[in-house]
Chain A
Amino acid sequence: MDGGLTSMHTAPSQAISDPAPLLPKRPSRRRQTFRKIRASAAKHIVLIALSAVFALPIVWMVLTSFKTAPQALAQPVVWWPHPFLASNYPQLFAALPFFRFFWNTFLYAGITIVGVCISSSLVAYGFSRLRWPGRDAVFYLMLTTLILPFVCTLIPLFILYKHLNWIGSYLPLEVPTFLGSSVFSTFLLRQFFMTIPQSLSDAARIDGASEFFIYRRIVLPLAKPAMATVILFQFIYCWNDFLGPLIYISNQSSYPLSLGLNLILGDYTTNWAWVMAGATAATAPIVILFFLTQRTFIQGIALTGTKG
């Protein structure tokens, strides 16, 4: 039995190097080519169908954002906006302080990026470039905080921040990043620092360089790609963060994008074109950023995910 499925699965080995000459009972070349085409067609049909399903929500979001409010609700559905209305965007931006939301988000991201870059790189250095008893045990302790549910620390922290008068500001979200709160970044940088040859540090030490000098002048410059990943991920984290601001930010003028976007759903559910214009405005920058930094992105994900 050579069902379509079997031939589909033979593809990887053929792609690697053709083992066919050594296999017994080799099918005729023509039949093999036919099977290859059939397998590749099957794969592409599956992939194209799935692509359509995955793309539909985004396509529909963008199309809706250019429609008039009644057209968005039209039944049967109108696929292409007619007229093609760009004015939803300026109208939405006039109705809600969107530029303010963007600015607040950038500020939040910018400050925490500084915090993460400084603290995570220092901590990662201590966990990778220096040898001390108990180092790896402490490192694993740090990793276990990854699985600690945030609700287990939330209430006492909220009370602490209230005493410090930080509620309503971004301080509860920013200060911890200066104290190594981004375990993911520390982990990623540590994995990267481990790959830098120890002999570089040793040579510098013989020349009398201080450890901070080695960190600052030797290791950090070599770790630029990993730092780029950390910056990118932190930016996306802040852009996405809903829960943090929801808990600590109450004043609408301090809202980040995530909370501002949530506002449209409550206020303008009658105008779906506006809601989708807001969603598109929040998504577009991230997608553009993704295309500009695709390599850093994909490598970074692979690095955090696979080197466990």
Chain B
Amino acid sequence: MKKWRQTRLGLLFISPWAIGFAVFYLYPFFATLYYSFTRFTGVGNPVYAGFSNYTELFHDATFRTALFNTFYYTIIEVPLSTAAALGLALLLNMNVRGQAFYRTLFYIPSIVPVVASSLIFVWIFQPSFGIVNSLLSDIHVEGPAWFFSIAWSKPTFILLGLWGLGQPMVIYLAALQGVPKEMYEVAALEGAGPWQRLRKITIPMISPVILFNVVLSLVLSIQYFTQAQVIEAPPGSPGNSTMFFVIYYYQQAFEDLHLGYASAMAFMLFILVLIITVLLLKSSSRWVYYENEER
């Protein structure tokens, strides 16, 4: 009796989400899958087109470029910002005087609104008047055109991403402060050096947090959009070097109204994210340590 009552109540309490899940996730997800097999411009009915959108995608050079750019950004930015955030957190965790001050300072860039930080970066990396190239010319280095250079545009976006590492840094710092101090004491007594303590205690103890953050930042960086859309005019330039996946998707869906084609792209992205997440979670059993299975 009591169990049934709790079940009914539980379902009642989660019903707002359950309705939202059906309307905003389940239905549109399957509708996207359906549209991906059609030609559709948003008016009239979708026309069934078999796998033609997918075969077209495989022959679309811009799509391949978009995939490449997205991988380029993700594969460099995610490990780099994870390592840098972790390194900074470790440094701040070493009982430095003024820890709170540094923490605040490194954190603030990550709360600057995305559009504002994009504007700031366009300005400081402006090729002829920006402060970065001015400082470089002071030391007799001729700076590149950054966002406006095919070779440098993606690295500059990575720099913009690194500037916002305050968020993961604070998370790692909190995790580091949760590692029981006795462990380090015992390790020191056993004669473990600093490197060993890092490898055998610190990293394993905070590995679940690292996994969680890496998964989320991977998923986010694969969907990289806002900064590229704000900074580049037209988005994707110069020479498609900043044509990221979602930038191309946006153009296909909302500018060219190729809704079927864009849906096929969306579904490809889903498969991609799924594969990456599954691989990461599978590999995690080898490097992620859970203190006790239940929490």
Contact = CB atoms under 8 A, between A and B. Distances in A.
A95 B138 CA distance: 36
A305 interface: yes
Interface centre among A44, A141, A146, A179 (most CB of B within 10 A): A179
B195 A77 contact: no
Given A147-B215, A152-B29, A61 B120 contact: yes
Contacts of B6: 130-132
B35 A155 contact: yes
B230 A242 contact: yes
Contact of A302 (B17, B93, B171, B270): B171
Given A242-B114, A243-B226, A275 B16 contact: no
Contact of A155 (B114, B178, B222, B263): B263
Contacts of A280: 116
A282 B116 contact: yes
Interface string A34-76: 0000001001101100110011111011001000000011011
Interface stretch (A80-88, A222-230, A258-266): A258-266
A148 interface: yes
A15 interface: yes
Contact of B266 (A23, A77, A142, A151): A151
Contacts of A257: 113, 115
Given A15-B94, A51-B106, A149-B266, A286 B14 contact: no
Interface stretch (B53-61, B73-81, B149-157, B181-189): B181-189
A22 B189 CA distance: 7
B100 to A, nearest CB: 9
A279 B109 CA distance: 13
B91 interface: yes
Q: Is the interface of A mostly helix, strand, loop or mixed?
A: helix
A89 interface: no
A261 B94 CA distance: 40
B66 interface: no
B113 A286 contact: yes
Given A11-B94, A178-B16, A282-B113, A149 B222 contact: yes
Nearest to A275: B119
B120 A60 contact: yes
B158 interface: no
Given A60-B124, A265-B230, A247 B254 contact: yes
A126 B175 contact: no
Interface in A4-27: 6, 8-13, 15-17, 19, 22-23
A16 B28 contact: no
Interface residues of B, number: 107
A157 interface: yes
Interface in A201-258: 211, 215, 236, 239-240, 242-243, 246-247, 257-258
A276 B22 CA distance: 43
A133 interface: yes
A127 to B, nearest CB: 6
B68 interface: no
B233 to A, nearest CB: 7
Interface in A136-166: 138, 141-142, 145-157, 159-160, 162
A306 B225 CA distance: 27
B102 interface: yes
Contacts of B229: 242, 246
6 contacts: A72-B129, A141-B21, A154-B253, A283-B112, A301-B174, A305-B174
Rank and list the top 10 A-B pairs by shortest CB-CB distance, nearest first.
Answer: A126-B13, A179-B20, A9-B194, A180-B17, A305-B171, A302-B174, A156-B31, A15-B95, A153-B28, A156-B28
Interface of A: 6, 8-13, 15-17, 19, 22-23, 40, 43-44, 46-47, 50-51, 54-58, 60-61, 64, 72-73, 75-77, 118-119, 122-123, 125-127, 130-133, 135, 138, 141-142, 145-157, 159-160, 162, 176, 178-181, 186, 211, 215, 236, 239-240, 242-243, 246-247, 257-258, 261-262, 264-266, 272, 275-276, 278-280, 282-283, 286-287, 290, 294, 298, 301-302, 304-306, 308
Given A76-B138, A279-B115, A301-B167, 9 more contacts: A12-B93, A51-B105, A56-B131, A57-B121, A119-B16, A132-B9, A153-B25, A155-B28, A242-B229
